[in-house]
Amino acid sequence: MNNIPLGSAELGFIALYLVSLIGIGYWGMRARTENSLKDFYLAGSGVGFMVLVLTLYATQYSGNTLFAFTGKTFRIGYAWLMSVHFMTSIIVVYLVFAPKLHRLAKRETFITPADYLQHRFSHHPYTVLASITMVLAISNYLLAQLTAMGLLLQGMTDDIDPQTAFVAGVIFLAVIMLVYETLGGFRAVAWTDLIQGGILMIGFVILLFIVLDHFGGLGKSYELL
């Protein structure tokens, strides 16, 4: 991987920004209205529409999109446009299932998807199996994010051993996330995603124009690849 090393000032600014996320976690903790699992995991069901939109955006289009999807596109070309259907299928599922499930969840005070299965089937082994399946699926997604974080720090540093930079990036950023999520729960996650989702969206647009300007258009970019 070709590194694009940053200076100490730029790295210091990024580190300050990451540490400030812990402040948002503390702010989220102070904003809690009650000491309950519902408030911790669902933020009292009151984060607001735009915050919810951007937290969903930041969740789906994250390190996996920036690193894995671009790498796949580089390897197989325009055929990877089929990945767009992966994203739209998630939106279709939201539109089909979310409204009814949301009403039911509010009435029955569900917190996790496993709560719905327990309500629907009243069979504890199903609930346990579903919980294990979701943990395994999320672990795979989390692994991709941790890998992206390590590669990011590895690419921003030039005077540190690549393996050391990778491990440090994974550990440092994982600890930052663990702290602010533990402090503020979903409210802290949503608020940090509001910021990071906005940065991600603006960054993608700027990056697109930079790439097109540098390579001379989409067609020329494809020829060079």
The predicted-structure confidence for 134-172, as pLDDT tens digits, reads as follows 899 888 888 888 888 888 888 888 777 888 889 988 898
Mean pLDDT of 176-193: 92
Residue 83: inside a domain = no
By residue range, what is the domain housing residue 130? 8-76+125-224
Long-range contacts of 84-87 (CB under 8 A, 24+ apart): 87/60, 87/61
Q: Is residue 114 part of a domain?
A: no
Tell me the C-alpha distance between 139 and 135, whole Å. 6
Domain count, the chain: 1
- Could you tell me the pLDDT band of residue 3, with boundaries at 50, 70 and 90? low
Residue 2 confidence (pLDDT) above 60: no
In a domain, 143, yes or no: yes
pTM for the full model?
0.80
CA distance 185 to 84: 31
Q: What is the pLDDT of residues 73-96, one digit of tens each?
A: 778 877 777 777 777 787 788 788
Q: Which residues contact 148 (CB under 8 A, 6 or more apart)?
A: 62, 63, 64, 66, 67, 68
In this prediction, residue 225 carries a pLDDT of 63
